[in-house]
Homo-oligomer: A and B are copies of this chain.
Amino acid sequence: MVWIAADWGTTHLRLWVMDGDAVLRRMETDEGMGRLQPEDYEPTLLGLLRDHIPVAQATEVLAAGMVGARQGWIEAPYTTIPAPPPSVAAAVRPETRDSRLAVHVLPGMRQDDPPDVMRGEEVQIAGLMATEPDFEGIVCLPGTHTKWVELRGGEVVRFRTFMTGELFTLLSDQSVLRLSVGAEGWDDAAFRDGVQRGLARPDSLPAGLFSLRAEALLRDLSPEASRARLSGLLIGTELSAARDIWQDRPLRIVGVAALSSAYQTALSMQGAVAATPDLDEVTLAGFRAAHKALATVE
């Protein structure tokens, strides 16, 4: 039986056509929530799925992420922690004109004190719990808004969000640093130097950022080294502020490969060992669990 998993974030839609547990096809587009109006979601799905779903019956679509935000397709109210990742029973059903789609938008999670929210990462957390049912510890989900999530007794018990990824993008693309930070390239020593600086003086980020510009002007710091040190500076600062969460705890990092590897390196500089399970595998495990639960619900 064909069904669809849709990880629908602010900037991207990642979509899997599934048959039971098997992946028939993976698609990715930049038709994220940020550029869609509520009436755009159904045509976007149909445009991508037209040739991949049966005509005679409704195909179940499980969607998670910003698609469920207030400004998304339909608001799926947050589940309040402590709680397990939201089950499909809590999903919200947008009406569709086309009878070929049966859409379930999964809720995100909220923490009341201190206030924090997530949308999308809860699927990866569910996937990690499905693949490692006994895991208790910390999951780091690096990205635009990096999350550090504590799992205990099958529940999310707290989390904290850092704007590290968004800061990196804004600073390297749009601030004065764009004049000296390369658009690509990497320098591992410069990354480690940045991590070290961030850890040593986490309060000095706004000055450390400008020093990248000054060193490019006065010491010919290369574009690749600037880029890697900027990343290190931001991640080091984050690790310092999140130390109370990750120190001496079992750790998993779930994110795109290059970024997960950067966090893994930075953590290893502090003597912390973190496994980095594959993002797509973990995401799919979360959607598969939700799909199995759907059979029970319906």
Contacts and interface: CB of A to CB of B under 8 A. Distances in A.
A102 interface: no
Contact of A170 (B115, B174, B241): B174
Given A161-B211, A205-B237, 11 more contacts: A110-B218, A115-B217, A117-B213, A161-B214, A163-B206, A163-B207, A170-B171, A170-B175, A203-B241, A206-B234, A207-B241
Contacts of A205: 205-206, 237, 241
A195 to B, nearest CB: 14
- Copies of this chain per assembly: 2
Interface of A, secondary structure class, is: helix
Interface residues of A, number: 46
Q: What are the 10 closest A-B residue pairs judged by CB atoms, nearest first?
A: A202-B203, A115-B214, A162-B206, A161-B210, A115-B218, A204-B241, A203-B241, A163-B209, A170-B170, A116-B214
Interface string A188-205: 000000000000011111
A293 to B, nearest CB: 27
Contact of A145 (B179, B204, B210, B237): B210
23 contacts: A71-B179, A110-B214, A112-B218, A115-B214, A115-B218, A116-B211, A117-B218, A145-B176, A145-B210, A161-B210, A161-B211, A163-B176, A163-B209, A164-B206, A166-B176, A167-B175, A170-B175, A202-B202, A203-B241, A204-B241, A205-B241, A206-B241, A207-B241
